[in-house]
Amino acid sequence: MSSLQNVLDRIDHDLEPATDRLFDLLRIESISTDPAYRKHCADAAAWLVRDLKSIGFSAKSVKTPGHPMVVAKHHKAKGAPTVLFYGHYDVQPVDPLSLWDNPPFEPKIIKGKGGAKQIIGRGTADDKGQLMTFVEACRAWKTETGNLPLNVTILFEGEEESGSPSLIPFLKDYKNELKADVALVCDTGMWDEKTPSITTALRGLVGEEVTIHAADRDLHSGMYGSAARNPIHVLVEILAGLRDTNGKITLPGFYDGVPALPKSIKKQWSELKFSEKSFLGEIGLKIPAGEKGRSVLEMIWSRPTCEINGIYGGYTGEGFKTVIPAEASAKVSFRLVGQQNPKKVVSAFRKYVKESLPADCKASFTPEGASGAIQLDYRMPELQKAAGALKSEWGRPAVLAAMGGSIPVVGHFQSILKMQSLLVGFGLDDDRIHSPNEKYNLTSFHKGARSWARIMEALA
């Protein structure tokens, strides 16, 4: 029997004690955003340090201006690659408590739809259950072979749910200690409960608030209507010009750095059981918007966007007031992909607005952040090896998916630690993360650990 098979059998055999350990961690009320739970966050970090030490890691809790970072190392696989595994032990607040069917920090297993066993409690899916899949894979390797197939460094953060204020300074201070060949991030999900997924792209984000200024005060529309410039008219015309009739964004140079979707990936996505009708129907819509000729999956996973997130000006209170406002504002966001340059997008947007202004108006801008996208090379050896390992475990090819949102730590690993990240997670869309009755399927926990055991061997 191979070492890997022994490890997989050990994970199967020890599922009950592994679940008990997860329950112990879930009981710790590590809510990072509320100062009242500061000690609980420290307790969670200490619990993880003790657990990692019990399986042979050198581990420590490192103080930060906020909550501790857990750093652990097991570097005994001579000649093998080194991986950095990241997770976070902090959780979201539980409000409103009245909507929980069970106390949020008293985890239990229930039967969900279809009879699937579900672990219920705050942090089950985001991210304690996820991070413990990797710890349990390490435990099984150590139990069966006395070593790990890889050199492993672990970083568990305690402030992910409160904006990670300590993360960037910490990464800069500890970048030599955290050096690795690739990072492993387990804060994502699967395509469905039977199909694994690897997230290969995260979109970047540019946010801009623009204000159009016209007259030096609000005006009576009966006295000044038509004669005086209305900044709301100016603003909506500018905003309307950001996209053409085919849904393409009109800013010059906007698509510079947008990669073509490989034919193999486009084919894989087209074969997924994804219903555009159901996707839009769930929110009361029927007709896809955006770029004509693109599928909905392409648009939400691999294409850049321009969205107007808010627009306001003039009188918006109860009743009616016939006013021409002195100014009007809008919040505009751009989701970026590939190698799009956030600074160039900001510059192009501001130039477009200024060039579109009438002579007696001016514009001011408030930046709301600008970050680039993350795109893995589909030919990346570690990606191919992880995909093969997941297929072996789940019996289905892993979906090479993308995310419309972002996971900031991945960008920080790239810019500060100079390493790419493999994003493999076992959460499901119905896990209710950040909401009452958060859950994590027992199968996700069990097969997640088995998956990491296989990935570790593949990467080694």
pLDDT tens digits, residue range 5-23?
999 999 999 999 999 999 9
Instruction: Say how far apart CA 72 and CA 61 lie, in whole Å.
Output: 9
Determine what percent of the chain is predicted with pLDDT higher than 90. 97
Residue 71 pLDDT: 98
Angle between helices 128-145 and 442-459 in degrees, nearest 10: 50
Alpha carbon distance 320, 189 (integer Å): 48
Distance CA 72, CA 51 (A): 11
Give me the amino acid identity at 402: A
Residue-wise pLDDT tens digits, 54-98: 999 999 999 999 999 999 999 999 999 999 999 999 999 999 999
434 vs 92, 95, 104, 134, 297, CA distance in Å?
Answer: 6, 9, 11, 22, 24
Residue that the structure tokens 């590590």 belong to:
30
Average confidence score pLDDT of the chain: 96
What band does 406 get if pLDDT is binned at 50, 70 and 90? confident
Whether the predicted pLDDT of 419 surpasses 90: yes
Burial classification of residue 200, based on how many CB atoms lie within 10 Å of its CB (0-12 exposed, 13-18 middle, 19 or more buried): buried
With a CB cutoff of 8 Å and minimum separation 6, the contacts of 69 are 45, 61, 62, 155, 156, 157, 158, 166, 170
Alpha-carbon span 287 to 249, nearest angstrom: 19
**pLDDT tens-place string over residues 147-190:** 999 999 999 999 999 999 999 999 999 999 999 999 999 999 99
Mean pLDDT of the region 328-351 = 97
pLDDT value, residue 149: 98
Tokens of 20: 């008990």
pTM higher than 0.85, yes or no?
yes
What are the structural domains of the chain? 3-202+374-459 (3.40.630.10), 204-258+304-371 (3.30.70.360)
Q: Could you tell me the two tokens for 24?
A: 């112990």
* CA 248 to mean position of chain CA atoms: 26
User: Please, which contacts does 115-118 make with residues 24 or more away whose CB atoms are closer than 8 Å?
Assistant: 116/193, 116/441, 116/442, 116/443, 117/441, 117/442, 117/443, 118/439, 118/440, 118/441, 118/442
Looking at residue 51, the DSSP 8-state letter turns out to be H
Q: Is the pLDDT of residue 412 over 60?
A: yes
Task: Please report where in the chains the tokens 């392409």 appear, as a residue.
Answer: 298
Average pLDDT, integer, range 133-140: 98
Is beta strand 362-371 parallel, antiparallel or unpaired with respect to 151-157?
unpaired
- Give the list of residues 6+ apart from residue 424 with CB closer than 8 angstroms, or none: 184, 185, 186, 188, 196, 197, 198, 199, 386, 390, 451, 452, 455
Q: What is the DSSP string of 222-257?
A: HHHTTTS--HHHHHHHHHHTTB-TTS-B-STTTTTT
Contact 419, 84 (CB under 8 A): yes
CB–CB of 130/122 below 8 Å? no
Residue 185 carries which side chain, given as an amino acid letter? V
| 127 closest CA partner among 104, 97, 160 | 160
234 class by beta-carbon count within 10 Å (0-12 exposed, 13-18 middle, 19+ buried): buried
Give dist(CA 80, CA 350) in Å, integer: 50
| Element of type H or E holding 133 | helix 128-145
- Return the SS3 of 296: helix
- CA torsion 187→110→138→426, rounded to 10°? -30
Nearest Cα neighbor of 196 from 428, 376, 21 is 428
pLDDT score of 1: 57
Among all chains, which residue has been given the structure tokens 């750095």?
257
On whether the CB atoms of residues 117 and 442 are closer than 8 A, the answer is yes
- What gap in Å lies between CA 354 and CA 361, rounded to an integer? 9
pLDDT band at 114 (very low <50, low <70, confident <90, very high): confident
Query: CA-to-CA distance for 409 and 184, rounded, in angstroms?
Result: 11
